Amino acid sequence: MKPNIETINLIKTFEGLRLEAYLDPVGIVTIGYGYTNDAGFGPGVKLGDKWSKRLAEEMLALGLEKFGQTILPMMTRAPTQSQFGAMLSLVWNIGVGSFSRSTCLKRFNAGDIEGAAEALQWFNKAGGKVLRGLVRRREAEAKLMLSDIDDRPIELVTARPDAEKTASKSTTIQATVATGVAGATGVGTAIGSLDGDAQMVVVIAACIAAIGLVWIFRERLKKLGGGV
């Protein structure tokens, strides 16, 4: 799932872009937009590694998609794009495991959005110390969660539209199947099993075929009559 631009910009702003591996405030080897070995995807990272900006962008996009697909099933109510983005930014920073056990998620699922935004801000420590950078990031994420910048709802389960025809019910496919069935069991039986549209397709196709056969028969008679 692709997050909205507000989420991406928030993450980029607070993670920053580092194209050479470094140690974060708690000693974790990091590169790109906050990529670490704990991400569980990509090439991995060790001190001395260097990335291109393109690779950093690709790993950010891949990571957000994977984390988004992982955390969305944890939500029992549909979030807006902004609510989802705020929690996705949090997960990018603290990891899926911590988020799955968080009060932020529990409050969100209970419908307490303001309470979720409050609990989100509790993740402001690294190595047991409150870091000003994390305080600012959590405040930005809480603001995004409570905003109506992007209030499009995200569907928890993608439903198949009732109006959408499946391949087995397609008018064209039904007509094709009917043509084959007709040869073995009779045209009447095959056509009778179809819906109105499919029946019309078969009848028209049969009429065209009949006209073609009549034309061929007449041409053959002309040739025979002319001695050709």
Instruction: Report the alpha-carbon distance of residue 87 to residue 177 in Å, rounded.
Output: 50
Strand partners, 22: 30
Of 158, 150, 198, the closest CA to residue 174 belongs to: 198
Please, what is the angle between helix 81-94 and helix 53-71, to 10°? 110
Q: Give yes or no for a contact between 63 and 82, defined as CB atoms under 8 angstroms apart.
A: no
Known catalytic residue at 219: no
The residues, any chain, with a CB within 8 Å of residue 97's CB and separated by 6 or more, are none
Tokens of 107: 């409050």
Annotated catalytic residue: which of 6, 15, 118, 141?
15
Q: 3-state DSSP call for residue 216?
A: helix
164: which DSSP letter?
S
Tokens of 118: 């409050």
Element (H, E) at 30: strand 29-32
Positions marked catalytic = 15
